[in-house]
Amino acid sequence: MARGRRFNPADPKPWQSDAGGSDAQRRYLQRGLPQPGGKLPLFDEDGQEIPKVTIRACISHGWAEPWSANPIHPDWLVCRLTDEGYRVLGIDPAKRKRMPEP
């Protein structure tokens, strides 16, 4: 006898949610709110590198976009929040301060 919900491959996965992403994705995006231009961090509060899978998931959802290349560390993904990223966090992108393009 089966327990719990039946598996349905059509059901959205938590990591595919358009409702704001996983806890890790939301924490990553929220760290860009106080930063100039919505710059997203490379490291968490404990100094650990943000997992690239988290950064790439936010980029694929359109919540973050690559901002600039780092010539010293070309493997680092330097990103910033997009308008959609602000919306996911409940912020009206029209009311935030805008920074000039690099």
Structural domains counted in the chain: 1
75 falls within a domain = yes
19-31, pLDDT tens digit by residue?
A: 568 899 999 999 9
From the number of C-beta atoms within 10 Å of its C-beta (0-12, 13-18, 19+), residue 72 rates as exposed
| pLDDT attached to residue 97 | 61
Residue 101's closest CA among 32, 36, 31, 33? 36
7 falls within a domain = no
| pLDDT attached to residue 96 | 73
5 falls within a domain = no
52-81, pLDDT tens digit by residue?
A: 999 999 999 999 999 887 788 888 889 999
What confidence tier does 86 reach under pLDDT thresholds 50, 70, 90? very high
Domain interval for residue 62: 20-91
pTM over 0.75: no
